């Protein structure tokens, strides 16, 4: 079973509630998403390996601990995933970034890949897939499928909102991938939107409709 971590920190919950409001402007939605994703990055990177670094303080030599940000890859599922990236990069500026573009085939409802670009050396890297909404879970599962072919050291999935259906789908396909979310909502509607949700994350981030 995937580990599902719901990040219940009061700052996360507060910002999420403000984002859900239908009268939140695109500007404030984007700002809140940036702040929230920074807080989510804090949780997702909690178990990142540290390495020793010899340094000198003004008083003496010591061995400090540092993370190797270059080993980490944030993979954004286009396009809403991009709204998550900046906040994550704020705290891990050395991370690399990959992008996956997927659309839903209207006939089969399956995720079809139209773009895939990853940094080199994926087999030595830890991957964090970012997408604000884990709805049906089809895109998340397809994205993880594709990344697994590159044999990375680890994969995690981070979102803002998850539907039970999406968690179930991702779990069934990839039980080894831990999921981090700010909330698990009630259900999906017939159009694949999360209820109560926050609407179309991409439209709200980019001000499209």
Active site residues: 104, 108, 200, 203
Q: Is 165 in the site for ligand URA (CB under 6 A)?
A: no
Q: Which is nearest to 16 in space by CA: 162, 165, 136, 166?
A: 162
Cβ-based nearer residue to ligand URA, 26 or 51:
26
Cβ-based nearer residue to ligand URA, 73 or 135:
135
Kindly determine how many residues on this chain lie close enough to bind ligand URA according to the rule CB under 6 A: 10
Smallest distance, ligand URA to C-beta of residue 17, A: 16
* Burial class of 10 by CB neighbour count within 10 A (0 to 12, 13 to 18, 19+): exposed
Selected from 135, 144, 162, 205, the binder of ligand URA by CB under 6 A is: 135
Q: Is 200 in the site for ligand URA (CB under 6 A)?
A: yes
Cβ-based nearer residue to ligand URA, 43 or 165:
165
Q: Is 201 in the site for ligand URA (CB under 6 A)?
A: yes
Compute the distance between CA of residue 156 and CA of residue 44 in angstroms, rounded to an integer: 8
Backbone φ and ψ of 159, nearest 5°: -140, 175
Q: Kindly give, in sequence order, each residue whose CB lies less than 8 Å from that of residue 111, ignoring residues fewer than 6 positions away.
A: 102, 103, 104, 105, 138, 139, 141, 142, 143
Q: Using CB under 6 A, which residues numbered 175 to 194 contact ligand URA?
A: 192-194
Q: Using CB under 6 A, which residues numbered 80 to 109 contact ligand URA?
A: 80
HEC string of 8-77 equals CCHHHHHHHHHHHCCCCCHHHHHHHHHHHHHHHHHHHCCCCCEEEEEEECCCCEEEEEEECHHHEEEEEE
Stretch of residues binding ligand URA (CB under 6 A), selected from 41-49, 70-78, 108-116, 199-207 = 199-207
Smallest distance, ligand URA to C-beta of residue 139, A: 9
Give residues in contact with ligand URA (CB under 6 A).
80, 133, 135, 192-194, 197, 200-202
């Amino acid at each position: 079973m995937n580990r599902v971590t719901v990040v219940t920190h009061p700052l996360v919950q507060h910002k999420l509630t403000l984002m859900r409001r239908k009268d939140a402007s695109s500007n404030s939605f984007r700002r809140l998403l940036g702040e929230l994703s920074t807080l989510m990055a804090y949780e997702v990177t909690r178990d990142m390996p540290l390495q020793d670094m010899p340094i000198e303080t003004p008083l003496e030599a010591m061995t400090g601990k540092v993370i190797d940000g270059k080993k980490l890859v944030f993979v954004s599922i286009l396009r809403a995933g991009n709204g998550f990236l900046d906040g994550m990069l704020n705290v891990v500026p050395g991370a690399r970034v990959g992008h996956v573009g997927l659309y839903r085939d209207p006939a089969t409802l399956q995720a079809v890949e139209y773009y895939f670009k990853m940094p080199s050396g994926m087999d030595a890297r830890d991957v964090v897939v970012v997408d604000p909404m884990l709805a049906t879970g089809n895109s998340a599962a397809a994205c993880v499928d594709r990344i697994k072919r590159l044999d990375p050291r680890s994969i995690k999935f981070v979102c803002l909102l998850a539907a039970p259906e999406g968690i179930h789908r991702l779990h069934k396909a990839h039980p080894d991938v831990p999921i981090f979310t700010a909330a698990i909502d009630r259900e999906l509607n017939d159009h694949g939107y999360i209820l109560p949700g926050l609407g179309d994350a991409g439209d709200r981030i980019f001000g499209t409709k």
